[in-house]
Amino acid sequence: MAEDSRDPPPMEDSFPRAAAIDIARALRFFSRLPVPALPFERDPHAMPDFSRMTRMLPVAGAIIALPGALVLIVALGLGLPPLPAATLAVAATLIASGGLHEDGLADCCDALGARGDRERRLAIMKDSAIGSFGAAGLVLVLIMRVSLFAAIAQGAGALAAATAMIASAGLSRWISLWLMVSLPAARESGASASAGRIRKSDFTVAGAIAGLLSLILLFPAGHGLGALGLAFALAGAIVWLCAVLARRLIGGQTGDVIGATQQLAEIAALSALLILIPA
C-alpha cells in the first residue's frame, strides 16, 4: 500500500515541528502568503490533513491578518481617518488571503438565494460566475468589515482595532469549521468532501488555542473579558444558524458554505467587540 503523504514522518513527531508544519500547510492552503518549505518537512506540496491542521488554524488565521493589521496601524499613524485606513487594511487582508472566503461567500449567496431544489443550488454554487445575490452579499460584507474596523479604531484606538482584526481572523476560521464536525459533505466530490470530517477533539483543542490567542491579543489592547465572551457567543450563534440553513437547503456543507460562515462569524465577533468598547 502506498504511504499517505499527509502523515508525518518520525522526524516530524515533536510538537514544535508538527505545529510548524501544520501552520505552514494552513497558510499555503488558506492564503497567498509565500511560505517556504521547512527543513524538516517531507512534502511541502502535500494536501493538508485537515484533522491535524485544524489545531493550528487559529494561529494561521492570525498570521494571515497580520498584513492588514500592520497597514491599519501605519495608516492611522500617518494621520488617515479611520474609514480609509480600515479600507486599506481590508484590502491588504484580501491580498494576503487571496479572497478565498470572500469567493465562497459570493457563491453561497447566489446558491442559497436561488429558487429550486438542492441539486440546482449546488450547481449554482459550483459555477464561478457571480450573480446579483453574490455581488450584493460580497459588497455588504466588505462594507461591514471596513466599518467595524473603522468604528473600533475610532472608539478604542489603533491597537484595539489591529488586535481585533488579528483575533477575529483566527477565531472565525476556527469556529466556521464546526460545519465540518457537525454536517456531512453536501456533494461527494469537492474540497470539503476530500478533506473529510474533523474530529471533535481536534476542534476543541483549536478552540482552546483560539481562546488563548484572543485573550493574549485583546485584553492588553483594552477589550474586556465580557467582550471576548460575547464575541465567541455571537460567532457561535452565526455558525449554528449557517449550519441549520445549510442542512435544510443543500443537505450538508461545502467549502463555499464554510467560507461564507467564516466571513459572517468574523463580523459577529467584531460587532461584539465594538458593542462592549469601554465608554
Mean pLDDT of 184-195: 67
Using CA atoms, how far apart are residues 109 and 131, in angstroms rounded to an integer? 9
Mean pLDDT of 254-266: 95
Q: Does position 249 have pLDDT exceeding 60, yes or no? A: yes
State the pLDDT confidence band at 10, using cuts at 50, 70 and 90.
very low
- Percent with pLDDT over 90 in the chain: 61
Residues near 189 by beta carbon (within 8 Å), at least 6 away in sequence: none
In terms of pLDDT, which residue wins out, 209 or 128?
A: 209
Using CA atoms, how far apart are residues 247 and 185, in angstroms rounded to an integer? 10
DSSP type of residue 10:
G
pLDDT digits (tens, 9 = 90+) for 142-178: 999 999 999 999 999 999 999 999 999 999 999 999 9
Q: Does position 11 have pLDDT exceeding 50, yes or no? A: no
Mean pLDDT of 206-233: 94
**Beta pairing partners, 185:** 253
In terms of pLDDT, which residue wins out, 199 or 70?
A: 70
In terms of pLDDT, which residue wins out, 112 or 51?
A: 112
Q: Does position 211 have pLDDT exceeding 60, yes or no? A: yes
Mean pLDDT of 210-231: 94
State the pLDDT confidence band at 3, using cuts at 50, 70 and 90.
very low
Sign of CA dihedral 232, 234, 237, 239: negative
